[in-house]
Amino acid sequence: MSFASLGLIDPLVRTVESLGYATPTPVQAQAIPAVLAKRDIMAAAQTGTGKTAGFALPLLQRLTMEGPQVAANCVRVLILVPTRELAEQVHASVRTYGAGLPLRTAVAYGGGSINPQMMKLRKGLDLLVATPGRLLDLYRQNAVQFTQLHTLVLDEADRMLDLGFARELDAVFAALPRQRQTLLFSATFSDPIRALAAQLLVDPLSIEVSPRNSTVKRIRQWLVPVDKKRKSELFLHLLRKKRWRQVLVFVKTRRGVDELVDTLAANGIAADAIHGDKPQPARLRALERFKSGQAAILVATDVAARGLDIDDLPQVVNFDLPIVAEDYVHRTGRTGRAGAAGDALSLVCADEVDLLAAIEALTGQLLERIEEPGFAPEHRVPLTSGGGQVLKKPKKPKKNKAQADAPVSQVDVRFLKPR
């Protein structure tokens, strides 16, 4: 099967061939003809399977082949995404696929000035990639109109709900024409998303190219049990022992991200960081440095779990397990992309065993446990069943009054400088 056989026009076929896309991925093979046929779609596909091209290529073709010319402040195709990083990534893909086509596209998200975005909309746009909050800001200031809109794409819609965009999405849906094509693309679909799809989609084509909530088989997934207080020490040890050339590290909180970056710096190891408190320009610089290989380590909260597309990223480390089990799928999906192999390691302490059990139940697999010599935890991580059950949770030892009243001493962990 070729891209030409799916009905794509020659300019798009030549573009994908120049990018090294030899044959369509399974999601592309199913989605492209359906989008060209103007069908509603609900597609579940693992990250790295080419879903962005699955909707972008046929939509660019329809915009090129179909009129009318876009009017001032109007948009013809709207792609909604949950984060600024994903907005930038999707728009970059759109520009790459649409190189040479006579189309106007733009991206809009919060965290920066709205004026340049309003200026781009004045002449009208064929395609707009936007986050829900900034899109509503533009709409309420009459900077964007939807009278010519014919297609809505919801990319990572489950993540939008996870991030609390339900009200914003309802407001957006109310402003859009009822007669439209709607496409839902995501790595996973929660039950609330399926209920939302039932309201928005008309006779949709359902595409599932992999089991629901599964992880890529080429990714080696394993964990090292460790006490919480020794996680930083263990990470430094593994970093040197394994000689990781590029590693994306996920930490639960913004404060935790900064603390790990500071610890690495104190040991002579440079690392960049992204989280919600970082200004958008700083986040984009950090992403570009990491993607280009200028920075070997990127420490992030789950703001980076989706929207990062890095060729041949070999290593993901879950310094902390995610609170939402589905986020584990997206974190690990940053590696093992486009058929490449990858490695996803989790550093797990006893307090995280319930999160571990939920992840294993969701993905349907037990994570391999490998203890690192010298780091066996004092507080053992209980075994799990793989079905969401903790087999045996140790009881917390009772403290006598003298122990309870005693001051808690700080742990002094000294790290060796890298040679």
Q: What percent of the chain has pLDDT over 90?
A: 52
Residue 316, domain extent: 219-405
So what's the pLDDT on residue 306? 57
Between 15 and 394, name the one with better pLDDT.
15
Q: CA 212, CA 227: separation in Å to the nearest integer?
A: 32
In a domain, 411, yes or no: no
Q: Is 318 helix (H, G, I), strand (E, B) or coil?
A: strand
Question: How far apart, in Å, are the Cα atoms of 184 and each of 5, 171, 324?
Answer: 24, 18, 21
Query: Which amino acid, residue 81?
Result: V
User: Contact 155/90 with Cβ under 8 angstroms?
Assistant: yes
pLDDT band at 307 (very low <50, low <70, confident <90, very high): low
In a domain, 75, yes or no: yes
Quickly tell me which residue has 């006779």 as its tokens.
Answer: 203
In a domain, 417, yes or no: no
In this model, does residue 296 exceed pLDDT 70?
A: yes
In a domain, 356, yes or no: yes
So what's the pLDDT on residue 47? 61
Q: CA 372, CA 78: separation in Å to the nearest integer?
A: 49
In this model, does residue 10 exceed pLDDT 90?
A: yes
pLDDT band at 305 (very low <50, low <70, confident <90, very high): low
**Tens digit of each residue's pLDDT (9 = 90 or more) over 102-153:** 999 999 999 889 999 999 999 999 999 999 999 999 999 999 999 999 999 9
The CATH number assigned to the domain holding 223 equals 3.40.50.300
In this model, does residue 364 exceed pLDDT 50?
A: yes
In a domain, 21, yes or no: yes
Q: CA 158, CA 160: separation in Å to the nearest integer?
A: 5
Q: Structure pTM?
A: 0.63
Residues 249 and 314 in one domain: yes
pLDDT band at 75 (very low <50, low <70, confident <90, very high): very high
So what's the pLDDT on residue 211? 47
Q: CA 91, CA 46: separation in Å to the nearest integer?
A: 20
Residues 224 and 177 in one domain: no
In this model, does residue 385 exceed pLDDT 90?
A: no
In a domain, 412, yes or no: no
User: Contact 63/125 with Cβ under 8 angstroms?
Assistant: no
Residues 49 and 195 in one domain: yes
Residues 188 and 312 in one domain: no
Last residue of a domain, one of 161, 184, 208: 208
Q: How many residues does the chain have?
A: 419
Q: How many domains, the chain? A: 2
Residues 265 and 196 in one domain: no
So what's the pLDDT on residue 293? 82
User: Contact 152/78 with Cβ under 8 angstroms?
Assistant: yes
So what's the pLDDT on residue 161? 77
In a domain, 269, yes or no: yes
**Tens digit of each residue's pLDDT (9 = 90 or more) over 398-414:** 555 554 444 433 434 44
Residues 247 and 319 in one domain: yes
Q: Which of 309, 357, 280 is nearest to 48 (CA)?
A: 309
Interhelix angle for 51-65 vs 10-18, to 10°? 150
Please report which helix (H) or strand (E) contains residue 95, including its range: helix 84-97
Residues 200 and 232 in one domain: no
**Tens digit of each residue's pLDDT (9 = 90 or more) over 185-213:** 876 677 777 888 888 999 999 988 754 44
Residues 22 and 148 in one domain: yes
HSE at residue 156, side-chain half, CA atoms within 13 A, is 31
In this model, does residue 330 exceed pLDDT 90?
A: no
Q: What is the 3-state secondary structure (H, E, C) of 116-173?
A: HHHHHHHCCEEEEEECHHHHHHHHHCCCCECCCCCEEEEECHHHHHHCCCHHHHHHHH
So what's the pLDDT on residue 19? 86
Residues 158 and 233 in one domain: no
So what's the pLDDT on residue 408? 39
In this model, does residue 329 exceed pLDDT 90?
A: no
Across the chain, how many H-helices and E-strands are there? 15, 14
Q: What percent of the chain has pLDDT over 70?
A: 85
Residues 109 and 228 in one domain: no
Last residue of a domain, one of 208, 236, 268: 208
Average pLDDT, the chain: 85
Last residue of a domain, one of 147, 182, 208: 208
Mean pLDDT of 42-71: 87
In a domain, 353, yes or no: yes
**Tens digit of each residue's pLDDT (9 = 90 or more) over 225-241:** 999 999 999 999 999 99
Residues 71 and 196 in one domain: yes
In this model, does residue 387 exceed pLDDT 70?
A: no
Residues 175 and 248 in one domain: no
Cα torsion 197, 203, 205, 206 to 10°: value is 40
User: Contact 174/136 with Cβ under 8 angstroms?
Assistant: no
